Chain A
Amino acid sequence: MMPGFMDALIDLLQQNALMPRADMARLLDLTPENLEARIAGLEAKGIILGYQAIINREMWDLDKVTAIIEVKITPERDGGFDRIASRIAKFEEVQSCYLVSGGYDLLIVIEASNLRNAAAFVAEKLSTIDAVQATATHFRLKTYKENGAFHQIDSAAERLAVSP
């Protein structure tokens, strides 16, 4: 068996979860049944939470707004940041929510159908939460790379057809 094949499996799924399972099994030197069982195991344990497409927003749904918001919050005596973070994370607009070190506490990424809705989320939902002391919103202007995928594909370099 290939050393570190579980890492390899997870990386393959992260790069392209749609790769045919027969190919994936052959790459990892597993039987297709064994591979299926291992993927099912990862899903059952909650190690794999889901599979998503990476969308080029320059080409699809141009009105959609993405913003990165720094949020400063007052931690609670019991539970620290967790309760308030999970409250914020539950909003549908919030795509990602991280507790971070540095000058603020939470870094959240939101998506809204247009600018007005994004502004409304910040002004009416986020800022009005008691524990939220301050926010700083950065709107996405252009994407260069997302989840490891580049938004502009460089043309492949030329290679010789046969070489030593």
Chain B
Amino acid sequence: MSIAVADHVRSIPRSGIRDFFEVVQTMEDVISLGIGEPDFATPWHIREAAIYALERGRTGYTSNLGLPRLRRSISDYVRKHFALSYDPHSEILVSVGVSEAIDLSLRALLNPGDEVLYHEPCYVSYAPTITLAGGRARAIETSARDGFRLTPESLEKAISPRSKALMLNFPTNPTGATMSAEDLAAIAAICVRHNLVVLTDEIYSELTFDGGSHASIAACPGMIERTVLLHGLSKAFAMTGWRIGFACAPAGLIEAMMKIHQYSILCAPIMGQDAAIEALERGAESVAKMRREYEMRRNFIVGALNEMGLPCRKPLGSFYVFPDITPFGLPSREFSLRLLSEEKVAVVPGTAFGPSGEGHVRCSFATSLPQIKLAMERLAAFAGRCRKAA
């Protein structure tokens, strides 16, 4: 007998990344630029603080919303970095990574059939999470021409009477796109006019380069009351495995999200929460150091890619570059598979992030410089061969 899986789950495709990962796993000595997590271990002072907390026997449940001290730290942090004010008692929820917070906010918001707009190429979980929450996922294509930013025109065109929410992710995984405060103001005005709730995943906000600073749409006029700010410790603090994310939103919505969180998760692990307090309160210097390292690697990889004839914008945020592979005349999946089998370099096909990712591959520069250098040498050899064949 085979167990019948629920229809709505069966209809969801597997993540394209996971698909690709399974091919990579069968091979040895692969240099991977496919990794969406920092190659740094969590800074020692953060790990040490977690060890200390464990030694003191801090191993129990926490409040459903998260440790009060952590929520205060988050409130201070968000005030300092985003110039936004959230009440730690009622407007902040600590989740198991940002992924859970995205899921919670969608489940708390959507009635069956409500439409959620999101820009694409985007992180792999958005569309499936919307579907699982009973919503209708509606992608808005972005293009290299616009630097993969969401344009007001394309948003306006996509809005329908069923549209309930808009999901944003700037800096963007996988494109590295960023939006300036002016860009965001134009989007915000449309959201206010059409009464859209905005879920903004700003997990890469600390990783902005060239001295630029991050702007949050929540800071635009009329937005804080309709925005869920989603963030976490994974990327900037190199804390992926600790699984600590958070949501900042109006109290009514946080309360609704808390109900789901309470019954499905109870609370985020206390070890991660204790580590997060140390990270937020004393981690600024570690973050600055890592940011500079990423920025230098970005310079390196962008220079190398352009030199070998893969046109590549210099991203102002995230740790991804999204070079254009159309000069080689191969679809992104075939390009990636051939690169993997011929040169043992793993990149992620752009189509893993939605059909509009075709013609691009995602390369992560969250990998050590010697590895990046070797990968670029191999990629250049591969590119040379492809060009000759074309």
Complex: how many Å from CA A121 to CA B243?
56
**Which of A1-9, A64-72, A85-93 is found at the contact surface with chain B?**
A1-9
A54 at the interface (CB under 8 A from B): no
Complex: how many Å from CA A23 to CA B296?
10
Chain B residues with CB below 8 A from A8, complex form: 292, 296
Chain A residues with CB below 8 A from B210, complex form: 2-3
- Within the complex, the shortest CB–CB distance from B354 to chain A, in Å, comes to 13
Complex: how many Å from CA A115 to CA B303?
53
Chain A residues with CB below 8 A from B292, complex form: 4, 8
- Within the complex, the shortest CB–CB distance from B284 to chain A, in Å, comes to 15
Chain A residues with CB below 8 A from B37, complex form: 159-160, 163
Chain B residues with CB below 8 A from A12, complex form: 296
Q: A27-B369, A157-B41 are in contact. Are A162 and B300 (CB under 8 A)?
A: no
A145-164 CB contact bits vs B (8 Å, 1 = yes)?
Answer: 00000000000010111111
* Residue pair A162, B346 in contact (C-beta under 8 Å): yes
B32-71 CB contact bits vs A (8 Å, 1 = yes)?
Answer: 1011110101000000000000000000000000000000
A82 at the interface (CB under 8 A from B): no
Complex: how many Å from CA A94 to CA B37?
45
- For A, the interface residue count at a CB cutoff of 8 angstroms equals 17
Residue of A nearest to B348 (CB): A162
B13-42 CB contact bits vs A (8 Å, 1 = yes)?
Answer: 001010011001100001010111101010
Chain A residues with CB below 8 A from B125, complex form: 164
A126 at the interface (CB under 8 A from B): no
Complex: how many Å from CA A48 to CA B300?
24
Q: A2-B295, A8-B296, A164-B36 are in contact. Are A29 and B21 (CB under 8 A)?
A: no
B297 at the interface (CB under 8 A from A): yes
A73 at the interface (CB under 8 A from B): no
A13 at the interface (CB under 8 A from B): no
- For B, the interface residue count at a CB cutoff of 8 angstroms equals 33
- Within the complex, the shortest CB–CB distance from B219 to chain A, in Å, comes to 23
Interface residues of A in 1-38 (CB under 8 A from B): 2-4, 8, 12, 23, 26-29
- Within the complex, the shortest CB–CB distance from A115 to chain B, in Å, comes to 35
* Residue pair A23, B36 in contact (C-beta under 8 Å): no
B308 at the interface (CB under 8 A from A): no
Chain B residues with CB below 8 A from A163, complex form: 17, 21, 34-37
- Within the complex, the shortest CB–CB distance from B349 to chain A, in Å, comes to 11
Complex: how many Å from CA A28 to CA B296?
6
B239-265 CB contact bits vs A (8 Å, 1 = yes)?
Answer: 000000000000000000000000000
Complex: how many Å from CA A2 to CA B303?
14
Complex: how many Å from CA A26 to CA B123?
29
B180 at the interface (CB under 8 A from A): no
* Residue pair B35, A159 in contact (C-beta under 8 Å): yes
A42-67 CB contact bits vs B (8 Å, 1 = yes)?
Answer: 00000000000000000000000000
Chain B residues with CB below 8 A from A23, complex form: 300, 369, 373
Complex: how many Å from CA A160 to CA B124?
17
Complex: how many Å from CA A60 to CA B200?
56
Complex: how many Å from CA A110 to CA B21?
53
In the complex, the 5 A-B pairs of residues with the closest C-beta atoms, listed nearest first: A162-B34, A27-B296, A162-B21, A3-B211, A29-B299
Q: A29-B303, A161-B21 are in contact. List 11 more A-B contacts (CB 8 A).
A: A4-B292, A27-B300, A27-B369, A28-B299, A29-B299, A157-B41, A160-B35, A161-B32, A162-B35, A163-B34, A164-B125
Give 5 CB contacts A-B under 8 Å: A26-B304, A157-B41, A161-B35, A162-B17, A164-B15
Show the binding face of A for B, using Cβ within 8 Å. 2-4, 8, 12, 23, 26-29, 157, 159-164
